[in-house]
Structure 1
Amino acid sequence: MKLVSRRRARERAVQAVYSWQISKNLISDIRYEFIEDANMLGVDTNYFCDLLFGVVNNIIKLDDLITSYSYRKINELGQIEKAILRISMYELTYREDISYKIIINEGIELAKIFGAEHSYKFINGVLDKTTSAYRKKIKI
Structure 2
Amino acid sequence: MKRREAREKAVQTLFQLDNTEMTVEEAIAYIVEKPVNRFYERLVRGTLENKAAIDEVLVQKLENWSLDRLPKIERTVLRLAVFELLFNDDVPHRVVLNEAIDLCKTFSDEKSGRFVNGVLSKFNENNEEGLEESE
Q: TM-score, normalised by structure 1?
A: 0.83
Match 2:57 to one of 55, 61, 65: 65
Q: 1:18 touches 1:83 (CA, 8 Å); kept in 2? A: yes
| 1:32 counterpart = 2:25 | no
Tell me which of 5, 8, 13 is aligned to 2:10: 13
Residue type at the aligned position of 2:31? F
1:118 aligns with 2:115: no
Report 1:51-62 matches (<5 A). 51-62=43-54
Look up the match of 1:77.
70
Q: Residues of 2 paired with 1:68 and 1:35: CA distance? A: 33
Shift of 1:24: 3.0
Q: Which amino acid aligns with 2:49?
A: N
Would the aligned equivalents of 1:92 and 1:131 in 2 still touch at CA under 8 Å? Answer: no
Aligned to 1:91: 84
4+ residue segments displaced more than 6 Å: none
- 8 Å CA contact 1:16–1:34 kept in 2: the answer is yes
Structure 2 unpaired stretches of 5+: none
> Which whole-Å deviations, capped at 9, do the CAs of 1:105-137 have from their partners, x for residues lacking one?
0001001111244010010011110235x7144
RMSD of equivalent CA atoms: 2.1
2-structure distance, mates of 1:88, 1:131: 13
Deviation at 1:28, TM superposition (A): 1.7
- Where does residue 48 of structure 1 map in the other structure? 40
Worse overlay, 84-93 or 116-125: 116-125
- Structure 1 spans left out of the alignment, 5+ residues: none
Q: Which stretch shifts more, 76-85 or 109-118?
A: 109-118
| Matches of 2:102 and 2:124, distance apart in 1 | 17
More helix by share: 1
Alignment length, in residue pairs? 129
